[in-house]
Structure 1
Amino acid sequence: MKCLLFFISCLFCVSLNSFAQDRADQQHLTDQNSFSMILLGDPQGYTKYDINQPLFDLCTAWIADNIDQLNIKTVLCTGDIVEQNENIVRNRKMLNQTSREMWEAASNAFKRLDNKVPYIISAGNHEYGYQRSENGMTHFPEYFPFERNSAWRDICVSAYPNRNGLASLENAAFEFADPNWGKLLVLTTEFAPRDEVLNWAKNLISQSSYKDHKVIFMTHSFLKERTAERIQEETYAITPRNWGEAIWQKLIKPSENIFMVICGHTGKPGDFEDSVAYRVDKNSSGKDVHQMMFNIQILGGGWEGNGGDGWLRILEFLPDGKTIKVRTYSPLFGISPSTKHLAHRTGACDQFDIVVK
């Protein structure tokens, strides 16, 4: 009888475990020797309403659940993790949280990844000033100090002080290694980076230690939605600053080893194509530079909707050392059997390959 009960118990545990995995909707690599990076678009629409904040938690919980399954090396976030950096007056038409509540919500969402996987945030315009980058004041280093995530310790190789002269991960470089891809460097910068930040980045990646690395450059504002034009000028008062085209001319184009630029920031209500962009240009050495914008904040019902329907991107780096498979996926749809069929976008702008030459 005890053997029978034990057998039934084992069957129940196996069934429960299978059910839990099915509900979590774990994703798979197309090649077991690949690794991945997960890309999060601007999450401010999740944090500015208390009712939306669990959707951000769901995204990071799903990532944590798939670290081993997808061999995730890092999580990339395009910035604007809050709606307003420093404001206590709640404009109910566009938010119901104070700035502190939004910072705490963003911090709690990323807490699920602490000490498990590095995440790299490209601070956006909403992380500065009071409401929209009136100046360089920011609470970013308070909520995301270097010490909070042990996964940063061995891979952060350089950082540059922020606009307030403080040590911060707003301007930082992270090194990764893979037997098929060699050495990679992910470099992130503050919103509309100053000349000295671009010079720091340029000097760093040209050093003998990093000149042979494949470099991914992240900054919040760079491309416009749909047209993929590089941004020439914006109206934010923060100074000094550089916009997309200036960043291209001063840093990206002259650098031999930057092969990809990732940004967020722009978008408008409409089709999914109005929240993404992609283009390829040659740098001064004749090498392709892939530039990708991904910003999902208005896809779940517009500016005041649910914040983005949980959409994120899985960037799978294949073992051929040159191909990145881009997939657009939502754990919000994927978690339920009744909506799982909607969890993958398969349009031309959602699912494509990047070939690094």
Structure 2
Amino acid sequence: MAINKMFIMLPLIFASRKLDAEDKDTIFYLRALYFPLHAIILLVMIYIYMTASKFAQTEAGKKVIFVPPAAQPFADPNEKGKKYKQIALGAHVQATAKSLLTSTLFSMCFTSGLHFYRGMVTGMAIQVVMGPFNLFENPLMRLFVLGHDASATRLFEEKHSRDELEPEDSIEDEDGNEIMAAGTIKDSANGGLDEALLDAWDAGDKADVGNLMALLTKTNINDATKENGWAPLMVLSGLACKGTASAMRQMKELGVDVLKKDGEGWNALHWACFHGSMEAAKVLLSPDDFDGIAIGMHEVKDNEGKTPLDLAKAEKNDDVAEIVAKAIASSKSCEAKKDK
């Protein structure tokens, strides 16, 4: 159960004001407590940030979560609906760790400056108590130091799926752009996929990826249009719109079949190469994402016998062709080193 900080802060503020800022013994004891204690706290913060950076690259770190907004002191308690931010758990943890580290450094510099240049001891006295308290109360401390399970414990009061959201809630991407209302997601989750795929394709680089993603579930993630066999991952791989990479990673979480082919024998990499989508090609080939080289996406030939790289060269999409060629060369280099 969380302790209300006000019950600690108020008595602490009143007590710290009673300290004699000119007494040498008081100053010595405060410095002896403050600086070693905050050096330890800073080292712990650096460890947390480094661990968070590594966690962001793991499978658990790539899990998509929905984070609620920070509590506002004067918010209307009767207001319905929250704006949840859709973000990978690892990315949110890393951003939180960075913010925590920078705020700790700023606080230490500010308090030390006031102490040495203005002779103030109140801030030091308060932070001697509140520093360790805030550290142990931080969710990242519980996750990386105390060993709490990120998948079992909702450290940020986050939601792990859209089904957990209320109809009045809405979802925003990392840039604050609204994706879709949760109520709309639940109402449309069982139909309209064909139409959504075609609408997204017609919209091109202005496509609203959120509307398409809102319809996708583990059940229909590999469904394809009846006429051409277009699957969601293929269409997204052919688009060069904002949010493509994060949406593709979310599809992976849903269990998308990355090797699925359409009526022309194209897989998702064929789509990315033909339409010149660099962002999609990077996600499909990255070892941290779909690892397309390892599963042979680049070797698949369409109905006309063309590989994805062949299509990129034929369409003069040189940037995408370079991405594919480098990924193939890197894979061959790694295999050669293993053979040695």
**TM, length-normalised to structure 1:** 0.31
Q: Does 1 or 2 have the higher relative contact order (CA < 8 Å, sep 6+)?
A: 1
In our comparison, the structure showing a higher alpha carbon Rg is 2
**Structure with the higher strand share, 1 or 2:** 1
**Structure with the higher helix share, 1 or 2:** 2
**TM, length-normalised to structure 2:** 0.32
